[in-house]
Each structure stands twice: as C-alpha cells, then as structure tokens.
Structure 1
C-alpha cells in the first residue's frame, strides 16, 4: 500500500515516532511520559499527533483527547492546532473520518507540522501515530501512517500492548518499520490485559527477539496504574536507556 516519498527528508528533525502494535495500546500515555522524561533532561519538547479521529467538546471548543494530553505534556506552550493539525470529529478510521468530513488528508501533513514546531522553537518532537503503524490515511489505501513516519525519518519507539497475540503484533510491526527503512530503537511493554497468561515470558521473548533482530532496547514495563499521568508512567520507564536509544548523548551532555 506504500508509495515512494517524493519530498526530501528534513535532516534537522530530532525526536522519535511512537508507533503501536494496534489501536488502544497506550500510545498517548507513553508519548506524554516520553515528553516528560525528555523535558526533565532539559529539552524544549513538543508533542505532535498529525492526524486524529474523535473529538469531544470542552469549554465550548471541540478537540481530540489525545491531542489535549500531548499539548499538556509538552514543555512549551502550544495550541491544539499545532499539536493536532488534522482532527476529525468522528471516532473511526482516519480515511473514513476524512471522507465523512468531505476532506482529504494531505500527504505531507506530518513533515509540514513537524517543521512548524521546530520553527516555533521545539528542540525535540514526540510524534504519535494513529492506530497501528500501517493504518491507511488515503481513501484508496494508497498511503498511510507508515508513509508519514518514513517521511519524518525519526527513530521509532514501539508500544506493545500486553495481551494475547502481542508477540505476533509486535514482530509484524517491527518488520513493517524496518521495511520502511526506519530504525526501531526501543520498545515499551504496556499492560492492556492484567490477566494475560505468561505475561513475563512474553516480555522476555520480546526483549531477546527485538534486540537481536532490530537492536531495539527495552525501555520499561507499564503496569495497570491507579493514577495515569505523564509522571507516573514516566516513573516506569528508563530515562537513561531512552537518551541512549535516541543517541542524545552525542547531542547534549
């Protein structure tokens, strides 16, 4: 379904692209925690969700919940439009939401929005995908979120939803990331099903497999939390491993 990227990749972009093994696996919570961790290390961080579907009304304005969370977790003041440049009202697949709104999703929306944030002073971007890594964004399924990620060319962090089937989903997503020429630098295990059988065995298998196949490091396991905030989720992640995975050691002491 992918097509070649026709626009030059901007080498100044710095940060990561957060992909998920599926929808509703905790990408936003992890992305907000990453913003918190990187901000604590002294970076001016901006969250970006180029495309989102599903809005509710808050204080007389319609916005997407994921966009609001990333906006709040960013370490610089940003508007809803800066964090979520394309927000659709209907909570469904993005290309369907776009059709219901009578719109098309621009091919270069990710790169355009990312560059605008860098121009506004962001040093690091945490870009969150929508749905799974290869979810379509075009009505004819000719291009999708994987194309957007390839154009940004940021290192990828994978959120693995811990539930039955996660091994297959994680490995298929890792293969798709590699097929787009992207580097899967790290992954996070996020508890979706607390009663998942053989949970630790699954995590250990992925630690070995993703490291051996892709050089992807384990960044932490997030259990079911009583209070889910960027701070509480960040406490479950390895900030040193994150900095090393993103190669920020060479950028700033």
Structure 2
C-alpha cells in the first residue's frame, strides 16, 4: 500500500535524512588507501548512534538474502554494484567505492548512497560516477506532482543509455517512510507517462545503479548479498530520499 506523508511527517523524515547524510560525509572523509571497509562501517555506526538513531540495515533480512545483513552500511567496491558487505578488505589506490546507508530516527527512515574514487581515479570511473549522479538529479527533477513513475525511470535510463552504461533491471528504488522499504517500487527504466501517478506526500528513495560494461546482468557473490557485474566492469550507485511536494521535489537526505 502506498502511503502519503503529512508536512510534519516530512519534517521528521528530514531529520532522519540528516543523520544519514552526516554518516556518509564521515565515511567519505575517512576513506583512504589502507583503510579497511569494516572501519568505514564503524565510522557510520558511530555517527548513527551519536545522533540517537538506529541502523536501518543492520539485521535486515529480505526474502532474497540467505542471512540477515551484518553491518550498518553497504560498501561496494569496483565490480560490486550494490549490497557489498564491509569486511577486512583494505582500500587501494584507484578503488571505486559506493556506500549506501540507512537510519531510523524517531520512527522514520532515511536512505542515501554515494560513490567516489580512492586516491587516483582509474580511467572512466569519474565519468561513471558523474553519470550516476546526473541520473539521480534527472530522476529527482521528474519527481513532481502529476508525473508518473515511468517518468522517473525514463529520466534515469536516458542518462544510462547516453553514456553506454547498463542498469540492473531487477533492482531500483523504493518507497520509504516508517519502514525503509515501502511501496512503490521505483524502477531505473520506464516509459514516460506510464505507471503510478506521483502525488504530494509520496516519499521515494531514487537510486540509479550504473554498470560500466553496458549490460544489465549481474551475479550474486558467495556471501549471498553482494551483486557483482558479470564481466568485472565497475559500477556506481547514487541515491537520495525524495519527497513529492507541491513546491517541487524535496531532498530529505542532503547534508
């Protein structure tokens, strides 16, 4: 069921979004050659706890996963598209890192993701990251009352197509509110003018995921969580929690 939020509820979600934004800022600030992924997860956990919030990821167990998620962030490196589990891997110069973080504050959720390079970017990585961010902006711009869900998906897919990037077709964004994942599903492809009508009070996590190899296929790693490109090509992920309002899109996870 799709739920619409009141102005006061959007304000409460904005506070949850601030926590997520601060956690991501600190993770990016601490990311450097030699740092272990689990250290970055600890940084985010400290920010979330310090704000009086709780992780939306830790112990989350969707139907597709064999085990509950063991961390407060997803840290996906190089060919991992999303859902990478932060472990003892040490960052190397040129790694492409995507960090996804979610938190609950006072019963409301926020969810956001950012991609960046460590040290000197490899050829093509900067363009890939910028394309994912550009697609996110395009999706947000389409998130206005009277548009349809297909308009958001089409905006994201158009950026991917223009850059020759692939989009994993089975994964996309989602509604968000009292729970991190609510209806509706927000696909990263679609036809303009088709799908659910966007109404004020609807809150969506819009999250383009781009694969440099130009395909939409992926493999699930042995951990049962990490989704990896089939050809080893790199991936980037960008995400914001966005409210549909009469005054235009309101990004709830800005710093």
Q: Provide the TM-score with structure 2 as the length reference.
A: 0.29
Q: Provide the TM-score with structure 1 as the length reference.
A: 0.29
Question: Which structure features the higher share of helix residues?
Answer: 1
Question: Which structure features the higher share of strand residues?
Answer: 2
